[in-house]
Amino acid sequence: MKTFRKKLLGKASAKETFRESFIKAQSAMEYLMTYGWAILIISVVLAALFQLGVFNPMTFAPKAPPGSCQVFRPNGPYTTSFINLEGICSGELPQYVASFSQSPAGYIQVGAPSTTISQITVVFWINPVNNGYWGNSGNYWENAISGAGGCWNNYYFYIESGSNPPRESWSITNSAGTQFRDFPGVALAPNTWQQLVGVYNGSDLLVYLNGKQIGSPVTANGLITFNGATISGTEPVTSGPYCNPISGDLANVQIYNISLSANEIQALYLEGIGGAPINLQHLVAWWPLNGNANDYSGNGNNGVPTNVIFVSNWYSGYTPP
């Protein structure tokens, strides 16, 4: 009899356990039906905010307003005595960067007193964006920065977007009209901020990507002319492969009338996208592009922007060095 009662109790306990489990499952389903849509909506909103960079730590980092750091030349433009940096110059992130498109064509024109130089260094940060031409057959060039006339001028740094991903090309044309070009062929990272540097030391062309030399030096010679700059292209080209504006963002453009050393270029990169220039005695122009096209080198080479947007939500794709 005792054994029979235990069996009956065991069956009752199993039924009770099943009933409790069923009730819990039913409650869980009712909970999901009641709150499921709310959870889904919250998830979608959080994903959208993440995409917009709201949760990016760069969003909360200190930002330097336009003109917060500049070179002071007490004796006037292009003088080198007693010059120094003034303001917030410790590498804070900029509030803005310059955003360029090909339609309408975005560019900045800068005029400057014409001078003959034997060396030059061009530094800038770029975030290239796919413009629809990446990977097309043939060459397709986007002008990042060149001499004041643009399009294969005295000095020029182009991005070859005919490849996918895009690649870099650094060139000069000396006063005799001879062109020299360094094309390392190293792929750039799309939708990613990176620093590019072109150097002409009087005998060689060199290219640096994120503080490190890429490719091999290319022999070059002769004097070149600095007469200002064209930042991005001057007009879109529909019938040919050359002189197209950049598709993407640019920041912190610096030009020197000397060839910076490998150590100096590495130091510039480690300063980050908001880094101040070095070797101020040889600094010709500095366009941070932080909200305007003004030259903060103290030499007064302010630019005139056309169809350029200065954007504040630029942090996507940027990782501090």
At residue 76, what are phi and psi to the nearest 5 degrees? 105, 170
Least confident of 42-56, 90-104, 176-190, 297-311: 42-56
Q: Are 290 and 98 in contact (CB under 8 A)?
A: no
302 compared with 30, residue with greater pLDDT:
302
Distance CA 203, CA 147 (A): 20
Q: Is the pLDDT of residue 257 over 60?
A: yes
Average the pLDDT over each of 71-80, 144-153, 258-267 and give the range with the smallest value.
Answer: 144-153
| Model confidence, pTM | 0.82
Q: Where are the beta strands (DSSP E) in 129-193?
A: 141-146, 155-160, 167-173, 179-182
Q: Where are the beta strands (DSSP E) in 106-193?
A: 107-117, 120-128, 141-146, 155-160, 167-173, 179-182
pLDDT of amino acid 149: 79
Digit-coded pLDDT (tens) for 191-250: 999 999 999 999 999 999 999 999 999 999 999 999 999 999 765 555 455 567 888 999
- Name the band, by pLDDT with cuts 50, 70 and 90, for residue 4: very low
Parallel, antiparallel or unpaired: strands 179-182 and 194-200? unpaired
Q: Looking at the predicted structure, is the pLDDT value of residue 255 above 80?
A: yes
Tens digits of residue pLDDT in 107-121: 999 999 999 999 999
pLDDT band at 75 (very low <50, low <70, confident <90, very high): very high
pLDDT of 165 reads: 81
Condensed to tens digits (0 to 9), the pLDDT of residues 156-191 reads 999 887 777 888 999 999 999 999 999 999 999 989
